[in-house]
């Protein structure tokens, strides 16, 4: 069995690419890296890689992680600027014995020495978003960009190896140096090939309060199906946050176990995700919350067309 699952519609082209590799016996590390790079390279996605939205100083600072579920190797970068594919730098760091999570200038020096591609990640389109937001910001609370956030994935190859990876530009207009859940093990991602993996998208500050990805893997280890594990972890933690703090940030989790079974749970309306397995061609699902439970339905062609139309529509400066 092989499979890959990823947050948001934006991941489906990457999921397709990974599926093509996995069905030919490709490695879960190579497949997930290729899938995340596909999202990082697409200029119209505003929250990952090239075209990602900048911090309050108009710099694009990116976070990414990679985990190998066989060895439990982890590599991650945070607040890295001017490199095309943070996920590949994270994967390279996973091979090191120490220094696995590098931030800012240290991450950039490492990436430069290792010969990773430099790129100015701030697009003209992102600059327009920035200038528009500066005009609005006095009236608005800072939030994850609605409808878009981290790409997080879990992958299983035919040899039973599992991986997880994330990549994000984090909160639009964040403080310089702010780091969310995506490069943080157990929060933005976790995977163990003996069990399965999970990955998160949403408000990093809240996801980190519950180490929600690790919690889902823990529940799967106890025998829960990925759907039950996601549902329980997200519902319980959302409730906990509301009771203790009066509100809970956006939180959407995807998971897959080592049999290729998968699950998704969210506390928001309109969450989309992409999945492919040996038995399921790459498909985008939308999740609705019905009586407190997450229900997944394939996205219609109309929804998919509208999605791409709005992402690539000309942007007007306000
Ligand atoms: N989930 C992405 C972030 O909060 O940075």
CB-ligand 1 contact for 282 (6 Å cutoff): no
Cα–Cα distance measured from residue 77 to residue 66, given in angstroms and rounded to the nearest whole number: 9
Query: For the segment 108-146, what is each residue's pLDDT rounded down to a tens digit?
Result: 999 999 999 999 999 999 999 999 888 887 556 555 555
Pick from 292, 296, 304: nearest CA to 262? 296
Residue 312 a catalytic site member: no
Q: For residue 315, is pLDDT > 90?
A: no
How many angstroms separate the alpha carbon of residue 206 from the centre of ligand 1? 9
Please state, for a pLDDT cut of 70, what percent of the chain lies above it: 96
What the chain holds in terms of domains, given with CATH numbers, is: 3-312 (3.60.20.30)
The model's pTM is 0.95
Query: For the segment 54-78, what is each residue's pLDDT rounded down to a tens digit?
Result: 999 999 999 999 999 999 999 999 9
Cα–Cα distance measured from residue 289 to residue 269, given in angstroms and rounded to the nearest whole number: 7
How many angstroms separate the alpha carbon of residue 316 from the centre of ligand 1? 26
* Residue pair 191/154 in contact by the 8 Å Cβ criterion: yes
Q: For residue 81, is pLDDT > 70?
A: yes
Query: For the segment 8-64, what is each residue's pLDDT rounded down to a tens digit?
Result: 999 999 999 999 999 999 999 999 999 999 999 999 888 999 989 999 999 999 999
* Residue pair 300/5 in contact by the 8 Å Cβ criterion: no
């Amino acid at each position: 069995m092989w499979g890959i699952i990823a947050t948001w519609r934006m991941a489906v082209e990457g999921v397709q690419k990974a599926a093509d590799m996995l069905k030919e016996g490709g490695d879960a590390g190579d497949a997930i890296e290729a899938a995340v790079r596909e999202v990082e390279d697409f200029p119209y996605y505003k929250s990952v890689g090239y075209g990602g939205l900048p911090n309050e100083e108009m710099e694009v600072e990116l976070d990414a992680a990679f985990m190998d579920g066989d060895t439990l190797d982890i590599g991650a970068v945070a607040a890295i600027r001017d490199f095309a594919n943070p996920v590949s730098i994270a994967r390279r760091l996973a091979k090191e014995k120490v220094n696995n999570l590098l931030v800012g200038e240290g991450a950039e020096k490492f990436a430069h020495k290792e010969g990773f591609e430099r790129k100015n990640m701030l697009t003209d389109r992102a600059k327009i978003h920035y200038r528009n937001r500066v005009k609005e910001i006095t009236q608005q609370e800072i939030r994850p960009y609605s409808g878009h956030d981290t790409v997080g994935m879990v992958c299983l190859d035919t040899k039973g190896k599992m991986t997880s990876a994330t990549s994000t530009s984090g909160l639009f207009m964040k403080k310089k140096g702010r780091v969310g859940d995506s490069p943080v093990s157990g929060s933005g991602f976790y995977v163990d090939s003996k069990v399965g993996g999970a990955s998160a998208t949403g408000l990093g500050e809240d996801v980190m309060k519950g180490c929600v990805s690790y919690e889902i893997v823990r529940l799967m280890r106890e025998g829960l199906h990925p759907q039950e594990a996601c549902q329980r972890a997200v519902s319980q933690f959302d409730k906990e946050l509301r009771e203790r703090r009066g509100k809970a940030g956006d939180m959407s989790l995807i998971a897959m176990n080592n049999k290729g079974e998968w699950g998704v749970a969210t506390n928001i309306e309109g969450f989309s995700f992409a999945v492919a397995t040996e038995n399921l061609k790459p498909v985008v699902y939308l999740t609705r919350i019905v009586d407190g439970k997450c229900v997944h339905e394939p996205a219609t062609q109309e929804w998919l067309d509208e999605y791409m139309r709005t992402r690539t529509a000309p942007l007007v400066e306000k």
